Amino acid sequence: MKKYYPNKTALKMLKILFFLVALILTCVAKLYLSVYPMIMFLVIGLFWTLFVLVALISLPIFFSKTYYFVSTNEVAKQSGIFFESNQLMRVSSIQYISTVATPLSKYTGFNFIKLNALGGYLVLLFLSKSDADDMTATISASLRKN
């Protein structure tokens, strides 16, 4: 059984993405709400408060508490921010595997694996390219063997 963690580069990319979204929304609020300064400052404060809560507090906690176990018999996922979630899927029940790799995923860490079984699915988020390939190879080899 091998243990995998989400890629830390994906965390950095998400922080940059959230920062850019907050910056763009701030510019839009200044452009359209400059007539109402009180509302403008409240909206801008809301954007940056959400940035701090999501990008600087919640995402690092999520990335530190998330990990995946992959073996020839089962795939397990543990994640959560406030409430921990444990998911377990037997490899023998997997119907098919979907791998999603975004452009430049080798550098961003935006690789995802979706394992589909009868009546359910399991999504493995923000994997490095090598981890995603290794997990897919391990599960596929186990499925072919059975």
The mean pLDDT of the chain is: 94
- Tokens in use for 15? 């922080």
Share of the chain above pLDDT 90, in %: 90
Is the per-residue pLDDT at 146 higher than 90?
no
30-77 tens-digit pLDDT: 999 999 999 999 999 999 999 999 999 999 999 999 999 999 999 999
CB-based contact 68:132 (threshold 8 Å): no
Count CB-CB contacts under 10 A for residue 96. 9
pLDDT-based confidence at 145, cuts 50/70/90? confident
- State mean pLDDT over 99-111: 92
User: How high is the pLDDT of residue 14?
Assistant: 96
Number of H helices, E strands in the chain: 5, 7
List of domains in the chain: 1-146 (2.30.29)
Tell me the CB-side half-sphere exposure of residue 54, using CA atoms within 13 A: 14
